[in-house]
């Protein structure tokens, strides 16, 4: 199964709502050599800034960050004024994966954006 790693991650005990921060890290990470990717181009960022972006408190972000570090999906280096974060991506989200090639082709205009249904299903 292609998404088995993500499903396994979602079943990880104790991860819970910290998945929101993990996905945010994934979205803000650069494309580099795997399996670790720098978040925000390796810039130092505070828990307060992440909290503002996610609409949660600074203490919630700190708790989630610690939980993600404990589960092995995130590495955080403490610096004056915040943390430099590196995040681990599942294999199918790595550079060179089918999804990565497809995303790059869409960005270059080689492939069209996928058709999305605009019909609500009740």
Residue 12 falls inside a structural domain? yes
Average pLDDT over residues 52-62: 92
pLDDT reported for residue 1: 43
pTM of the entire predicted model: 0.66
Flag whether pLDDT at 31 surpasses 60.
yes
Residue 117 falls inside a structural domain? no
What is the Cα gyration radius of the chain? 16
pLDDT reported for residue 105: 61
CATH number, domain of 43, equals 1.10.10.10
- H helical segments located in 33-114: 47-54, 58-71, 98-108
Burial category of 15 from C-beta neighbours within 10 Å (exposed 0-12, middle 13-18, buried 19 and up): middle
> Which tokens sit at 15?
């991860």
Number of domains into which the chain is organized = 1
> Which tokens sit at 79?
């610096």
Average pLDDT over residues 36-41: 86
Average pLDDT over residues 9-28: 77
DSSP string, 40-56: GGG--B-HHHHHHHHTS
């Amino acid at each position: 199964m292609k998404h088995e790693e993500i499903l396994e991650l979602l079943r990880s005990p104790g991860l819970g709502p910290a998945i929101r921060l993990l996905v945010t890290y994934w979205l803000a990470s650069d494309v580099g050599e795997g399996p670790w990717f720098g978040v925000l181009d390796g810039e130092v960022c505070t828990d307060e800034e992440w909290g503002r972006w996610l609409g949660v408190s600074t203490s919630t972000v700190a708790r989630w960050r610690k939980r993600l570090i404990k589960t092995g999906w995130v590495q955080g280096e403490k610096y004056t004024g915040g943390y430099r974060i590196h995040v681990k991506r599942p294999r199918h989200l790595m550079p060179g994966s089918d999804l990565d090639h497809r995303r790059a082709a869409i960005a270059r205009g080689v492939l069209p954006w996928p058709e999305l249904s605009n019909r609500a299903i009740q």
